[in-house]
Chains A and B, each alone.
Chain A
Amino acid sequence: MKDFEPSIIAFVCNWCTYTAADLAGTSRLSYPRNIRLIRVMCTGMIDPQYVIKAFLEGADGVLVSGCHPGDCHYINGNYKARRRIKLLKEILPRFGFEPERLRLTWIGASDGIQFAEIMRELVTQVKTLGPNSAKLKMVI
């Protein structure tokens, strides 16, 4: 499994984590290319189906990341996101998706360094989990 390069889909909110990713870029911090960012206005707009679709299409990991509690630019979107992640963590592991494949973090706009660190750590973790079985098998 040494050569396994995971694909990780990261849904990041425009105002915090995306800004942090941008900052990491302009600060020339490097982080693994395994992360595919999808910018959304707020974590509160991430319907559980986006996460489910990502896993069924073969994503090895999914990250949802937004503003710290109290900092959401739409006041409470991140609290709603947290409930939906809780919900998905009850459902997806029942069908064999390890709970560690789905992560939620709060990364503020000025946390460029932390963003790069978390991405590196995430990739290492997903590598040890191995590929998502949806990638290999026929999914109906």
Chain B
Amino acid sequence: MLNSYKLETKDKELLESLQIFFRSILELDEISAILVPKLLPMKNMVMPVLITDPAQLDNVDPLSPAFPMNTSKIVSRLSRKPIGGKIAVVLRPCEIRAFVELVKLKQGCIDEIVIIGIDCLGAYKNRDYFLFASEDEKGSTQRFYSSVLSGKGASFDNIDLAPACSVCEQPIPGYTDILIGLYGMDINDHILIQPKTPTGESILSRLKLPETEEPLKRKEAIDTLINERTACRDRMFAETTEATDNLEKLTTYLASCVNCYNCRVACPVCYCKECVFVTDVFNHEPSQYLRWAERKGQIKMPTDTVFYHITRLAHMSTACIGCGQCSNACPNDIPVMELFRTVAHKTQKAFEYEAGRNIEQKPPLSEFREEEFDEVVGIS
């Protein structure tokens, strides 16, 4: 059992305490940089920023309900070749899960990355975030975390958590070097800092934080939250299944899709460097469209919409980690996440796989056994 530490928050605002904590990590010799969400100086927007100068850590804000992208894609970009120095990355749990999948797909490397996972308070859809934060980002983050962590929930006026967050049953980081625990903590006194790996322990042991025990009420708070979320998730699964259980309903569900493919651009685990749907394979001959149209007298343009979505489900649903960036990116408000999570739940179960959980377990479609799945062979 590794020690737990506390990060004092007395007489300080929570974000300020976190900034001090990040500074102490960045000042360690072996840490070259830290990647962390930060309020941009030019606009009221929070984006991942790679920081090497400890003086630039003010305005760092990992608790904001902004979630403009799944940062695992950035970590993959930073680690696809040797970096020449360790980078600490502050991530939400679903960003960690996505990064774990990318590492397995050899699109990222864990060796020079130190993961700092933070209890996730959830986020709003992009559009809602701007409505919520308006001009005062700092104040808005405080309003948000105070409300969530005091049990009053995340809804303000007509704004509530993004659908993906409201059904997320994994808000606590799983695979991480260092965990920042918020749920069940008295945030006006201290929050929890836990090492989860030897790397995490070696870093934290040098920061001279006071030791503590994980309070019982943290476990209770987490259990309650996970139970609520799981119930919401299962309701969402049932509704989505019902809404798509034949081809006619599926086409209705996807009817306003314009094949922009934003959903797969935003998806952190859509791993192909070039999606087949944007290659010449789908640059059909003009006369081909006429022939297709003639078969039923009409053909909806652009074509291949349902084909695209089912193919994407086949290609990546075993890796879907439920971040909801697909829905966030859709210009026409199609509930993409709901469809993908619902199917992913089944495909992952079929291979006894859980995306993002175990970095050692190979993705289901990159391995096989000689004796398995006999039930799908034969015609009886």
Interface residues, chain A, with chain B CB atoms under 8 Å away: 48-49, 52-53, 56, 69-70, 76, 79-80, 82-92, 94-97, 103-106, 118, 121-122, 125, 133-134, 137-140
Contact = CB atoms under 8 A, between A and B. Distances in A.
A74 to B, nearest CB: 13
Contacts of B368: 76, 79-80, 82-83
A138 B298 contact: yes
Contact of B379 (A69, A84, A122, A140): A122
Contact of B246 (A76, A86, A90, A95): A95
B365 A90 contact: no
8 contacts: A49-B314, A94-B346, A95-B246, A96-B247, A97-B247, A103-B379, A138-B298, A140-B305
- Interface secondary structure of B, over-half rule: helix
B314 A104 contact: no
Contacts of B131: none
Interface string B357-380: 000000011001110110011110
Contacts of A56: 306-307, 310
B318 interface: yes
B318 A87 contact: yes
Nearest to A136: B296
A87 B350 contact: yes
Size bin of chain B's contact surface: 35 or more
Contact of B306 (A69, A104, A122, A139): A139
Given A91-B314, A91-B317, A140-B255, A85 B248 contact: no
A95 B311 contact: no
Interface of B: 241, 244-251, 254-255, 257, 276, 296, 298, 300, 305-307, 310-311, 313-315, 317-318, 343, 346-347, 350-351, 364-365, 368-370, 372-373, 376-379
Given A87-B350, A96-B245, A133-B247, A48 B379 contact: no
Contacts of A87: 314, 318, 347, 350-351, 364-365
Nearest to B257: A140
Contacts of A139: 247, 251, 306
- Interface secondary structure of A, over-half rule: helix
B305 A133 contact: no
Contact of A90 (B251, B305, B346): B346
B250 A95 contact: yes
A86 B373 CA distance: 7
B245 A48 contact: no
B373 A83 contact: yes
**What are the nearest 8 A-B pairs in CB distance?**
A96-B246, A48-B314, A79-B368, A49-B311, A140-B300, A140-B305, A86-B373, A90-B350
